[in-house]
Amino acid sequence: MTIRQPRYSKEEFARLGDEIYEYKVRPQVEEGNEGKIVAIDLETGDFEVDKSEIAACDRLESTHPDAQIWIVRIGSGYVRHFGGRTKRS
């Protein structure tokens, strides 16, 4: 089992992840995939899309075992939502 070590600061990790998603990945995945997860390897730009965060990451790691993975929910600014939600009427 490989223990993955971070190679970027948190700020650089987020900046790279957002940049790759916006300019490379988003145009390819947005249509028809809203709400799904995209897992992106920051170093290769390769990505996997799935309803399951775990499945997307597992597939990406099967081809890139040392991937630095950034996760985005397509069509949302958040992967997870914490706290209560108000009902819209």
Kindly give the confidence (pLDDT) of every residue in the chain, 89 residues in length, as a single tens digit, with 9 standing for 90 and above: 566 777 889 999 999 999 999 999 999 999 999 999 999 999 999 999 999 999 999 999 999 999 999 999 998 866 765 565 555 55
Please say whether the beta carbons of 25 and 38 come within 8 A: yes
Q: Which residues contact 25 (CB under 8 A, 6 or more apart)?
A: 38, 40, 45, 47, 72
Alpha-carbon gap, residue 29 to 4, rounded angstroms: 27
Alpha-carbon gap, residue 17 to 55, rounded angstroms: 19
